[in-house]
Amino acid sequence: MPSKPPSKPSKPSVSNTNNKKKADERPRISYWKQISSFCNDERFRFILGLLLIIVVLYTLLAFISFFFTGAADASILENQWDDQSAMRKNITNWTGILGAILANAFLDKWFGVSSFVILFAAAVLAFRLMGVKRFSLWRTFFHSAFWLIWGSIAIGFVCKPFYMDSFFRWGGGHGLGISDWLVSYVQIYGTILILLALLLIFLIFSNKSTIPFLKKTGRAILNALKRKPKQPATGEAGQETEETEKNVAVGTEIVPEEWIEEPINDETDDKEIEFQVQPAEEEKGDDEDKSHDETETDFVVETGKTDEPEEAAEGNITLEVDTPQDTEEADPYYNLKNLGKYDPTLDLSHYEFPTLDLLKTYPNENAPVIDMNEQNANKNRIITALRNYGIEIESIKATIGPTITLYEIVPRAGVRISKIRNLESDIMMSLAATGIRIIAPIPGKGTIGIEVPNENPQIVSMHSVIASKKFQEESKYQLPVALGRTITNEVFMFDLAKTPHLLVAGATGQGKSVGLNAIITSLLYKKHPSELKLVLVDPKMVEFNIYAALEKHYMAKMPDEDNVIITDSTKVIQTLNSLVIEMENRYKLLMEAHCRNIVEYNEKFINRQLNPEKGHRYLPYIVIVIDEFGDFIMVAGKEVEMPISRITQKARAVGMHMILATQRPSSNIITGIIKANVPSRIAFRVDSSLNSRIILDATGAEQLVGRGDLLYSGGNDVVRVQCAFVDTPEVEEIVHHISKQQAYPSAYELPEYVPGENDGTPMPGSVDLSKRDPLFTDVARFVVAQQQGSTSVIQRHFQIGYNRAGRITDQLEAAGIVSGNNGSKGRQVLVQDDFTLTQILEGLL
């Protein structure tokens, strides 16, 4: 049978042409993303750092060689440029002609010997790229730039008289030129003062202890100037006075035995403690002589209130009050005075939060559009509908929101509220509305509310919510979430840390995914990567995949896990159990620190009252978001429900909060255990009042109009909110803004979960030595050589994370190299020599 001839191709439409253009543009965008991804790849950064280290070593060798060969090479570089082959042959620098040119340029023409600072800064950048050690790039640049410029000028100024005997300028051409310019204007002493002033200003900005040191030095100088010798009195008394003045030292507690101490007056200032030293009487009775031996001195001290003072302002004796530490033994080196407050954001000190221009704006996004014809028509229909059933009202007023208008009515005396509540369907029919909700009565008011959808609803943009004064100035919430706007057009916010867990449910396509994106976006706009970590579970594989680029900023995952977004049910079970272990570990830290919650613990850690050498660490908040957890309940059942229940029962105090979302609000998914432990709920539109009761324990969600219309229950009251709309391109822009910035070397590492053989629970101490860490052998030899096996020592020496060091310690314990954990006593090294260790390691192969 002959085939049908092909039909004549139709002329492409305008829309097809536009789609073709868009398709042509897409590869370009993907190419740029691939380039950006390649540049952020750990391997690329390591290679780049390795090449930079080679350049640094080469330049360093050239600089060192310059001091020995620079004099001979200088004349060659000046006179033999025309003959390149002869110049290369005669150059004596250890690194050849290129090294000679570099050394001559930096050390003679430019910055002199302070050019070594450039090599230091380049080495720091290289180590940072390679992940060998984390340095603050801004701090390194600030220090290097100052010492490079200031050092060049200072060396050029000091060493100028010796230039006649030197083959190069020690401060370089830059240092010599600027120092000569300064001397021409302010002479030698003025130049010295300028250099000292610049040095002091730099030290004040770079070191917190500079100002206290300067104050202490200034006070010592002033006290030394104030100590003027008194005129000696006639006779023996005068000689005694002169001698005793020599024995009194400012700021000490050493006084001769002939002196006693008495208060200056009875009324001492609240902030000062003053002491006066007066000579004793020349003649003492026998009883007095017996009560005072040659080495003891009596002091009589009266003070005012001493709650605040740390030292006497004018007295001769200084009192210092040390801040008590909560540890059993205060560490003299790890304290607030020496180190200052701990800054958890220091590693990413230049992190820039997402800007408002990344979010879309819509017309009239801050004020609702009022249609008076619609409002009057609805008012009249409500009055008529109630009157038809014999209900008269005294007053009615409307509050217009972005998508809903609230009509508040005051019925006449004698009207039963239940009668109005039963007319919900009749009023909805008279208004021809998609769904109304009657609140009878409105809590805190003597009115009845009727919520009616607007004919032309407005979009509540994420921009209007994030840019609001309420969100921008909020500082009391630990995890602030800006969800949307209420009926009164006010920004609705809540603190996820106080929620403390959240259930989000609704039918398909009613705005649940947009609501989750709004919650995550709010947190990204408020919390620094050091303060917040996310665990995202997405069985659909497409909802949270957009956040994968935030892996090294905001994400948390198990060790050796490839995908930061969890999609497989088996991985979900492992991750949830890993989070349970993390929760238990955090509770141990809180118990050791004598803290009740994460806020108190982190405050102590910031104030240097908890020593990381003893296992303490700064704890970021962890927010676990599980989209469509009903799928995992259906597949895994109790294996998923039990760790969820444990986390929701206990994890609030240690800063771990869970958000559960589902489009199946049925009793076999939202079980009684989950409902009991998740008090806060968000209900989008559902199909029946039964589903509404399962979510909220109340009806009303079935009357919502969809498209982000939701009910929030954080306790007794239920609030209707129009969820803020954040589109996928907006989220992409936010993620791109964050991902292109400096990041941590890896994602936040959760504890390793080792499932049991039968019960599916972790078995303490069960370690598979066939999967040893690559550093296991090196760590074992280090531990035996140093006879120290603590996790913190391994972490510091090998520059690895705490969790990885802990796993290696467990492997050492399983191999019999170190003992089990003995609490505060630490682990004991069981192997005493390298020969025994070698036999153990060979037995593991």
Weakest mean pLDDT among 278-287, 375-384, 821-830: 278-287
pLDDT at position 340: 86
Contact predicate 483/441, CB 8 Å: no
More confident residue, 549 or 560: 549
Give the pLDDT band of residue 254 (cuts 50, 70, 90): very low
Weakest mean pLDDT among 131-135, 293-297, 784-788: 293-297
pLDDT at position 590: 94
More confident residue, 382 or 768: 382
pLDDT at position 478: 95
pLDDT at position 604: 93
Mean pLDDT (whole number) for 146-158: 92
Q: What is the pLDDT of residues 484-530, one digit of tens each?
A: 999 888 999 999 999 999 999 999 889 999 999 999 999 999 999 99
Give the pLDDT band of residue 36 (cuts 50, 70, 90): low
**CA distances in angstroms from 302 to 261, 269, 275, 438, 572, listed in the order given:** 10, 11, 8, 73, 68
Beta-carbon contacts of residue 572 (< 8 Å; ≥ 6 apart) = 537, 566, 626, 632, 636, 640
pLDDT at position 603: 94
Q: Looking at the predicted structure, is the pLDDT value of residue 472 above 50?
A: yes
Q: What is the pLDDT of residues 392-402, one digit of tens each?
A: 888 888 988 88
Q: How many residues are listed for the chain in this entry? A: 845
Highest mean pLDDT among 75-79, 146-150, 317-321, 759-763: 146-150
Write down the mean pLDDT value for the chain: 80
Contact predicate 737/354, CB 8 Å: yes
Q: How far apart are CA 795 and CA 805, in angstroms?
A: 5
Q: What is the pLDDT of residues 358-382, one digit of tens each?
A: 999 988 777 777 888 888 888 888 8
Only one residue has tokens 């001698």, namely 243
Q: Looking at the predicted structure, is the pLDDT value of residue 757 above 90?
A: no
**CA distances in angstroms from 628 to 504, 509, 821, listed in the order given:** 9, 13, 40
Q: What is the pLDDT of residues 223-239, one digit of tens each?
A: 777 665 544 444 444 44
Give the pLDDT band of residue 814 (cuts 50, 70, 90): confident
> Encoding tokens for residue 460?
């509540």
Mean pLDDT (whole number) for 657-686: 89
pLDDT at position 484: 95
- Determine if the pTM surpasses 0.75: no
Give the pLDDT band of residue 151 (cuts 50, 70, 90): very high
Q: Looking at the predicted structure, is the pLDDT value of residue 799 above 50?
A: yes
Q: What is the pLDDT of residues 723-743, one digit of tens each?
A: 999 999 999 999 999 999 999
Contact predicate 454/502, CB 8 Å: no
Q: Looking at the predicted structure, is the pLDDT value of residue 653 above 90?
A: yes
- Assign 3-state DSSP to the chain and report helix, strand, coil percentages, each to 5: 50, 10, 40
More confident residue, 39 or 276: 39
Between vectors from CA 679 to CA 546 and to CA 508, what angle results, nearest 5°? 45
pLDDT at position 331: 66
Weakest mean pLDDT among 19-33, 256-270, 786-800: 256-270
Beta-carbon contacts of residue 123 (< 8 Å; ≥ 6 apart) = 52, 53, 56
What letter does residue 423 receive in the DSSP assignment? T
pLDDT at position 671: 82
Q: How far apart are CA 283 and CA 734, in angstroms?
A: 86
Q: Terminus-to-terminus CA distance in the chain, angstroms?
A: 71
Mean pLDDT (whole number) for 141-157: 91
* Per-residue buried b or exposed e for 714-740, using 16+ beta carbons within 10 Å of the residue's own CB: beeebebbbbbbbeeebbebbbebbbe
Beta-carbon contacts of residue 603 (< 8 Å; ≥ 6 apart) = none
Percent of the chain with pLDDT over 70: 80
Question: Is 840 exposed, middle or buried (CB count within 10 Å of its CB: 0-12, 13-18, 19+)?
Answer: middle
Mean pLDDT (whole number) for 379-390: 87
Mean pLDDT (whole number) for 450-469: 91
Q: How far apart are CA 580 and CA 492, in angstroms?
A: 32
Give the pLDDT band of residue 460 (cuts 50, 70, 90): very high
Weakest mean pLDDT among 143-147, 244-248, 716-720: 244-248
Nearest-CA neighbor of 734 among 350, 351, 348, 354? 354
Percent of the chain with pLDDT over 90: 35
Q: Looking at the predicted structure, is the pLDDT value of residue 35 above 80?
A: no
